[in-house]
Amino acid sequence: MSVPITTSIDSRTGLRMHVGAGTLTPDELESALKDAYRQPDYRPEANSLCDLREARVEAFTGTEVRRVVDTVLKHRGAPPGTRTAIVVGRDLVYGLARMFSQQLEAESPSDVRVFRDMDEAMAWLEGEPPE
């Protein structure tokens, strides 16, 4: 079975990069996030990048998005000043990512933005304000 989401952590900066490809289910996303939080290089105060440009998320509904928000809050938290950039390529993924960002920001001091361009997302994670 192929893994629809992979995670790498930069041991120097702690930046987590989650890359999704193919059909992604809520259970697979939750499992990948929990696995990332258990990695030795994991730092909750570090920024994260979710590259979902090649992901298909038809299995997600508002309820599943809420479940993912709850997983992040329970297992990671969202320390003040942390940034999460979500890069998407499809309108459906954009809408679900915006739903996720609004819910997480409403319940934590984390800053979450959704982008359609990887360079803009990386620049924002590195401290440059979005255009």
Identify the architecture of domain 5-125 in CATH. Answer: 2-Layer Sandwich (3.30)
pLDDT digits (tens, 9 = 90+) for 16-69: 999 999 998 999 999 988 998 889 989 888 999 999 999 998 889 999 999 999
- Whole-number mean pLDDT of the chain? 89
Residue 131 pLDDT exceeds 70: no
Question: Which strands sit side by side in the sheet containing 111-115, from one edge to the other?
Answer: 5-9, 16-23, 48-56, 83-88, 111-115
Residue-range domain boundaries for the chain:
5-125
Residue 13 pLDDT exceeds 80: yes
Phi, psi for 88 (deg, rounded to 5): -125, 165
Q: What is the mean pLDDT of residues 79-100?
A: 92
Cα 84 from Cα 113, distance rounded (Å)? 6
